[in-house]
Amino acid sequence: MNGLGVVLKDRGDLAEAEHWYKRAADAGHPGAMSNLGVLLKNRGDLAGAEHWYRRAADNGNSIAVHNLGVLVGERGDPGEAETWFRRAAETGNQGSMVNLAELLEQRGERAEGEHWRRRAGGGGAASV
């Protein structure tokens, strides 16, 4: 069902993709939960996106953990964003390593920021 949602989304049939993502997510597929979150965020439904990112994160989807960090950061909660970026960075998510580095550097914690940039392979720009 998630795969069908991906194909439909790529084809531009967002309503039908949402239907299949939702079916797969309701069946417990963490990737579908994350994909549904992305689709809803792109549509402007930030509350819906956050709901599905949190469910996917609770079910071990590291991409959703990263995306949740981005979403709460955009919402203006850098403390919670840092929590999610740390969690995703520990799984090897390079985008979260870069975003975490930027948050740390913004508040003056340059040494730890540099540590995360090095772990990310020297990443310069934040990955969202």
CATH of the domain at 95: 1.25.40.10
Contact 125, 117 (CB under 8 A): no
Contact 100, 86 (CB under 8 A): yes
Residues 55 and 65 in one domain: no
pLDDT of 123 over the 70 cut: no
> How far, in Å, CA of 2 to CA of 10, rounded?
12
127: pLDDT confidence band, cut at 50, 70 and 90?
Answer: very low
Residues 47 and 7 in one domain: yes
> How far, in Å, CA of 6 to CA of 4, rounded?
5
Query: Token digits for 69?
Result: 């960090």
pLDDT of 19 over the 70 cut: yes
Task: Please report the pLDDT score of residue 17 as a whole number.
Answer: 97
> How far, in Å, CA of 76 to CA of 79, rounded?
9
Task: Please report the pLDDT score of residue 15 as a whole number.
Answer: 96
User: Tell me, what amino acid is at 73?
Assistant: G
Last residue of a domain, one of 59, 83, 106: 59
Task: Please report the pLDDT score of residue 124 as a whole number.
Answer: 54
Please report, rounded to a whole number, the percentage of residues in the chain having pLDDT higher than 70: 95
Residues 3 and 50 in one domain: yes
Q: What is the pTM of this model?
A: 0.86
